[in-house]
Structure 1
């Protein structure tokens, strides 16, 4: 089973970690780096029964969706 850190304030999820302790380390790193050590609302450590596969696929899907949007914007600007 893998674990992931989710920040509800930033609306972001860390890559899957092999154990809960690694996800907690990521949580602490994010708190200190982004939130000045404060605890953001809605943060959680979640277990992923699929070993993080859903998280990786979501990230890949978002990347390709972003590329498609940028391509569409470029196409529209070229034809205006």
Structure 2
């Protein structure tokens, strides 16, 4: 998911699914609000999707800790 952010207008678009859609959103905003000019502070944002890890380091740490606990549990028996 992506969003277009205009820093000059201080507005952010609704989320769209594809990169192509966010570029269209940007182009339409530029034409509507800025006569085709590029506003200062413009951003194309990638929105975090729930359920998808954003930090692989955290996932690796969780796996390492879980593996260590499992080994300790097995060794105790």
Alignment-derived partner of residue 46 in structure 1: 45
Inter-partner Cα distance in structure 2 for 1:42 and 1:50: 24
Inter-partner Cα distance in structure 2 for 1:50 and 1:6: 18
Alignment-derived partner of residue 28 in structure 1: 27
Return 5+ residue gaps in structure 2 as ranges. Answer: 51-77
Distance apart, 1:34 and its partner CA: 0.5
Distance apart, 1:20 and its partner CA: 1.1
Query: If each structure's helix is expressed as a fraction of its own residues, which one has the higher value?
Result: 1
Greater CA radius of gyration, 1 or 2? 2
Inter-partner Cα distance in structure 1 for 2:42 and 2:33: 13
Q: After the TM superposition, which segments of 4 or more aligned residues of structure 1 sit over 6 Å from their partners?
A: none
Return 5+ residue gaps in structure 1 as ranges. Answer: 52-80
RMSD: 1.1
